[in-house]
Amino acid sequence: MIRKCLLLAVCGISLSATAQTEAFTQRFFETYEKYREPSIGQRRIQHQDIQPLIDRFARTEGFEVRKVGSSIEGRDLRLLSTGRGETDIFLWSQMHGDEPTATQAIFDILNFLSSEDFREEKQALLDSVRIHFLPMLNPDGAARFQRHNFLGIDINRDALRLQSPEGQTLKRVRDSLQAEFGFNLHDQSRYYNAEQTPKPATISYLAPAYNYEKEVNVVRARAMRVIGYMNRILQEYAPGQVGRYNDDFEPRAFGDNIQKWGTSAILIESGGYPEDLEKQEIRKLNYVSILSAIYAIASGSYTGVSLDDYYQIPENDRKMLDLKIQEVTYPLEGKSYLMDFGIYRAEVDRDGHRDFWNIGRITDMGDLSTFYGYETVQATGLELRSGKLYPTVLPDMDAVSSLDFRSLLQEGYTYVRVQNVPEKQMDVPFPVHIVGAGFKNPPSKWDIGDNATFVLYKENKPLYAIVNGFLYDLEQEWETGNNSLILRKSGS
């Protein structure tokens, strides 16, 4: 209790001064770039990328680093600990190998904690809590940018059988620490939205249930109050973009069982944010959210948050689309229909799992009035037509690169025939598809799952081209296009 009072005095935080608490957390947001770890600036990070960073903290005063396990393929799992307090906080990330956002944020937080800034505040903090970080629990999955581990199982469904060495490590560390709070850090689909709003669920929280009845005991209530506090902070920076993850009990899941085992489990899911495919803005929100929560736990200020604040967070819904074409006229078999088109752009990893290209497909058609797009075209009065074949067959890809692509799209051309199409290449860095010399123009009919390529006309003038799911406004200037595909047959 004495430690908590000292921390409140140093930080200017008190249960009766919530506004002061939140003002202090603004400094995390404002100074973030100073602590952002620049060596891991892309999503597809791997085990070898974070090992030098962990080694650096092993040499940093005030930090303890120890190996706590190994993955199936023999990659080290290491725990970083700092602080001298009696309250243990345990954070683990990337138990799904393709969910790296919080791993990046962990190293930003470690940079903050190891800096010379905010010395008095951090001294009081670390006198109150001891913080433990286990980044990248599934390094074998991260090496392949896949959800499952090398055994092929979802570690987050291995809390009962404990067949994976990674799951065994997580259980062993949790049991050894008997941490009061545990942060289970994940990424979720960018297609979740805050229920009944057009805003993506950029961050979603959950205090997992520990039984089918979804009862709330002291342990779960603590997690709910911390989440209510984090949501209050995050509304300053992503208003309306916070969701509440489904709390149906999953008896195999680690979060649900960790709640049952006595650690207040807090799930954080990183979703989508406009124009942030690499999730670097979301990484920053993780940093602010987690660091604010740690301070709230250390000070005890979270205890003044009502459980109602947790339940008032809107639930996750899944109504986001990468692109929505709204109320376009779709001519078919001599009749015209008013249609909406929903488009996803799936990521396909390149060799080495360090980069990706996109395939844009139609995911839904019809009345999509309850769905929302990261981009939306209000197409009332416009007609949907198939893109045209460029009339000249070009000899090779070099000849394609010299084309004026904007002019092509303005004339309705979305396919360019090439005599020598690369045999193994699947995508091209052009805003038109590359096809063989014998390619036939596809029919003006589309089905769910088809590649999203068509042109929107007003009378006989193309106004928009959609090529491989990417939108091109033909009345606006743009410098470069997004990737398109090499199609080897019509309808690919």
Phi, psi of 20 (to 5 degrees): -65, -40
User: Do 341 and 269 belong to one domain?
Assistant: no
Nearest to 330 by CA among 294, 367, 287, 282: 367
- What was the pLDDT predicted at 19? 56
Point out the domain boundary residue: 298, 317, 336.
317
Extract the tokens encoding 293.
């929560």
Distance CA 32, CA 220 (A): 30
Contact 313, 246 (CB under 8 A): no
User: Do 273 and 371 belong to one domain?
Assistant: no
Extract the tokens encoding 212.
């089918």
Q: What is the C-alpha R_g of the chain?
A: 25
User: Do 199 and 295 belong to one domain?
Assistant: yes
35 within some domain: yes
397 CB-contact burial (10 Å; exposed 0-12 / middle 13-18 / buried 19+):
middle
364 CB-contact burial (10 Å; exposed 0-12 / middle 13-18 / buried 19+):
middle
The H or E element that residue 491 is part of is none
Distance CA 389, CA 408 (A): 10
- What was the pLDDT predicted at 7? 42
User: Do 249 and 125 belong to one domain?
Assistant: yes
27 within some domain: yes
CATH number at residue 288: 3.40.630.10
Instruction: Determine how many CB atoms are found less than 10 A away from the CB of residue 264.
Output: 25
Instruction: Determine how many CB atoms are found less than 10 A away from the CB of residue 462.
Output: 22
Nearest to 291 by CA among 78, 126, 405: 126
User: Do 243 and 324 belong to one domain?
Assistant: no
User: Do 123 and 262 belong to one domain?
Assistant: yes
Residue with token string 């893109």: 387
- What was the pLDDT predicted at 67? 98
User: Do 292 and 356 belong to one domain?
Assistant: no
492 within some domain: no
User: Do 166 and 284 belong to one domain?
Assistant: yes
- What was the pLDDT predicted at 101? 98
Contacts of 74 (CB under 8 A, 6+ apart): none
User: Do 357 and 295 belong to one domain?
Assistant: no
Question: What's 27's DSSP letter?
Answer: H
- What is the bridge-based pairing of β-strands 461-467 and 454-458? antiparallel
- What was the pLDDT predicted at 305? 96
| Percent composition of the chain: helix, strand, coil (DSSP 3-state, to 5) | 30, 30, 40
Contact 366, 313 (CB under 8 A): no
- What is the bridge-based pairing of β-strands 383-385 and 454-458? antiparallel
Instruction: Determine how many CB atoms are found less than 10 A away from the CB of residue 470.
Output: 21
Point out the domain boundary residue: 294, 317, 340.
317
Point out the domain boundary residue: 265, 299, 317.
317
463 within some domain: yes
- What is the bridge-based pairing of β-strands 76-83 and 63-70? antiparallel
Distance CA 423, CA 436 (A): 11
Distance CA 378, CA 362 (A): 17
DSSP 316-367: EE--EEEEEEEEEEEEETTEEEEEEEEEEEEEEEPTTSS-EEEEEEEEEEE-
Contact 396, 419 (CB under 8 A): yes
pTM across the whole model: 0.93
Instruction: Determine how many CB atoms are found less than 10 A away from the CB of residue 354.
Output: 13
- What was the pLDDT predicted at 266? 98
326 within some domain: yes
Question: Bridge-partner residues for 134, per DSSP?
Answer: 92
156 within some domain: yes
Contacts of 37 (CB under 8 A, 6+ apart): 53, 104, 107, 108, 111
Task: Provide the 3-class DSSP secondary structure of residue 435.
Answer: strand
Question: What's 304's DSSP letter?
Answer: G
- The residue type found at 442 is P
DSSP 86-99: SEEEEEEE-SSTT-
374 within some domain: yes
User: Do 347 and 227 belong to one domain?
Assistant: no
Task: Provide the 3-class DSSP secondary structure of residue 315.
Answer: strand
User: Do 91 and 58 belong to one domain?
Assistant: yes
Instruction: Determine how many CB atoms are found less than 10 A away from the CB of residue 280.
Output: 15
In the chain (492 residues long), the average pLDDT of successive 10-residue segments reads 38 45 78 97 97 98 98 98 98 98 98 94 94 98 98 98 98 98 98 97 98 98 98 96 97 98 98 96 98 95 96 97 98 96 97 96 98 98 97 95 95 96 92 93 92 96 98 90 86 46
Residue with token string 């942030």: 276
Contacts of 160 (CB under 8 A, 6+ apart): 251, 252, 257
Distance CA 259, CA 227 (A): 14
Contacts of 376 (CB under 8 A, 6+ apart): 323, 324, 326
Distance CA 313, CA 307 (A): 11
Helices (H), 133-253: 139-144, 165-177, 218-234
Nearest to 109 by CA among 80, 86, 136: 80
Distance CA 245, CA 372 (A): 19
User: Do 39 and 134 belong to one domain?
Assistant: yes
Distance CA 171, CA 178 (A): 10
Domain span at residue 285 reads: 2-317
Domains contained in the chain, number: 2
Nearest to 405 by CA among 441, 435, 432, 433: 432
